[in-house]
């Protein structure tokens, strides 16, 4: 029975973040292409483990702890993981016959990224004794971090596929930006693991999370507005999918549950100032606030115009 709980603790956070992506892109849980992307993304996770393991063994160690942490963050983690996600997105997911809207690319990118995160989370959570702390902390940091990377990849791929502003060279940005974000997230953590000065690195890590959340969510909102306009012009905007209320409810849940989860995980370890740990919940708070904001704007437009809102973000 306990193993079922552990399994659920590993696979439910990626699905919750995916719910945000689906609502944001006004998609549906019944979207077959999305499940394909999610599952193949998870298979990509297995391929990435193999690549990461191989590169880690081939990579020479310099002896400089910061340099080694930087090389590992870029070459062992960020490059293979984001490249495999990008490959799955453009080779399998995007080519699915049911993908008709530009907005679908955002959902697919998040699905690939979170399928990947699900597999990674599964291996992390089942391989430690203290699975509760690992599952709780990863649910508010690494898993939504993969979601943010997927959001960036999807937004930039949408930008590259805009019909009136098509610039194929932009496709490379959809790979490069997530690689940079991923490396920036992993570097302080890997350096801390190597016992380099902790306080500055921890502060740097939090700064990376705050800045990447703000930048990616802003970028996504801009690109999504353009994608909705393009989809509507092409007659491919399915305004019937109504997700406003779920965006608001999910957003409130994320803003409330994220800090609570962080504080409880740290408190369970016997740390007195557990409330300080709420700062770890930057990702869920950022996604939650954006979710509430998006839901309220769409709802307002629907009441103002008397028709289902789609352009508002």
CB 113, min distance to other proteins, A: 15
Using CB under 8 A as the binding rule, whether residue 50 contacts other proteins is answered as yes
Among 86, 92, 187, 283, binds other proteins (CB under 8 A): 92
Closer CB to other proteins, 23 or 118, in the complex? 118
CB 226, min distance to other proteins, A: 26
Using CB under 8 A as the binding rule, whether residue 31 contacts other proteins is answered as no
DSSP state letters, the chain: -HHHHHHHHHHHHHHHHHHHHHHHTT--TT-HHHHHHHHHHHHHHHHHHHHHHHHHHHSPP-S-HHHHHHHIIIIIIIHHHHHHHHHHIIIIITT-TT--SSHHHHHHHHHHHHHHHHHHHHHHHHTSS-HHHHHHHHHHTHHHHHHHHHHHHHHHHHHHT-STT--GGGGGHHHHHHHHHHHHHHHHHHHHHTT--HHHHHHHHHHHHHHHHHHHHHHHHHHHHHHHHHHHHTT---TT---HHHHHHHHHHHHHHHHHHHHHHHHHTT-S-GGGGGGGGHHHHHHHHHHHHHHHHHHHHHHHHSS---S--
Task: Measure the N-to-C terminal CA separation of the chain; round to a whole number of Å.
Answer: 42
Closer CB to other proteins, 45 or 295, in the complex? 45
Using CB under 8 A as the binding rule, whether residue 131 contacts other proteins is answered as no
Using CB under 8 A as the binding rule, whether residue 46 contacts other proteins is answered as yes
CA atoms within 13 A on the CB side of 159: 18
Among 20, 31, 86, 122, binds other proteins (CB under 8 A): 122
Among 30, 57, 60, 127, binds other proteins (CB under 8 A): 127
| From 38-46, 140-148, 206-214, 250-258, span contacting other proteins (CB under 8 A) | 38-46
Closer CB to other proteins, 116 or 185, in the complex? 116
Closer CB to other proteins, 29 or 200, in the complex? 29
Using CB under 8 A as the binding rule, whether residue 30 contacts other proteins is answered as no
Using CB under 8 A as the binding rule, whether residue 58 contacts other proteins is answered as no
Using CB under 8 A as the binding rule, whether residue 17 contacts other proteins is answered as no
How far apart, in whole angstroms, are the C-alpha atoms of residue 71 and residue 60?
10
Closer CB to other proteins, 92 or 205, in the complex? 92
Closer CB to other proteins, 19 or 41, in the complex? 41
Among 16, 17, 42, 216, binds other proteins (CB under 8 A): 42
Asked if 107 contacts 154 with a C-beta cutoff of 8 angstroms, the reply is yes
Among 12, 15, 39, 279, binds other proteins (CB under 8 A): 39
| From 58-66, 119-127, 223-231, 292-300, span contacting other proteins (CB under 8 A) | 119-127
CB 146, min distance to other proteins, A: 17
The residue to which tokens 């999305």 are assigned? 34
The residue to which tokens 């089942």 are assigned? 126
Closer CB to other proteins, 89 or 313, in the complex? 89
How far apart, in whole angstroms, are the C-alpha atoms of residue 251 and residue 29?
18
Closer CB to other proteins, 127 or 195, in the complex? 127
- List residues binding other proteins (CB under 8 A): 3-4, 7, 32, 35-36, 39-40, 42-43, 46-47, 50, 87, 91-92, 95, 97, 119, 122, 126-127
């Amino acid at each position: 029975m306990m193993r079922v709980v552990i399994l659920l603790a590993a696979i439910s956070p990626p699905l919750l973040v995916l719910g945000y992506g689906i609502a944001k892109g006004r998609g549906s849980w019944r979207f077959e292409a999305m499940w394909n992307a999610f599952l193949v993304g998870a298979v990509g996770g297995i391929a990435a483990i193999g690549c990461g393991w191989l590169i880690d063994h081939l990579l020479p160690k310099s002896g400089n702890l910061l340099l080694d942490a930087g090389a590992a963050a870029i070459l062992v983690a960020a490059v293979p993981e984001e490249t495999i996600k990008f490959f799955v997105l453009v080779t399998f997911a995007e080519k699915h016959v049911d993908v008709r809207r530009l907005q679908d690319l955002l959902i697919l990118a998040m699905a690939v990224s979170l399928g990947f995160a699900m597999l990674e989370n599964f291996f992390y959570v089942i391989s430690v004794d203290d699975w509760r702390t690992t599952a709780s902390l990863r649910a508010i940091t690494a898993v939504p971090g993969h979601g943010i990377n997927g959001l960036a990849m999807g937004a930039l791929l949408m930008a590259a596929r805009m019909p009136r502003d098509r610039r194929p060279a932009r496709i490379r940005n959809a790979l490069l930006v997530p690689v940079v974000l991923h490396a920036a997230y992993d570097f302080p953590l890997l350096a801390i693991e190597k016992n380099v000065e902790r306080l500055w690195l921890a502060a740097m890590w939090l700064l990376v999370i705050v800045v990447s959340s703000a930048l990616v969510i802003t970028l996504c909102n801009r690109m999504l507005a353009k994608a909705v306009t393009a989809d509507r012009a092409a007659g491919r905007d399915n305004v019937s999918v109504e997700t406003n209320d779920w965006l608001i409810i999910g957003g409130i849940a994320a803003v409330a549950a994220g800090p609570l989860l962080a504080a409880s995980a740290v408190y369970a370890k016997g740390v007195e100032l557990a409330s300080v740990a709420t700062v770890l919940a930057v990702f869920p708070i950022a996604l939650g606030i954006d979710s509430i904001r998006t839901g309220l704007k769409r709802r307002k437009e629907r009441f103002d115009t008397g028709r289902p809102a789609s352009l508002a973000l």
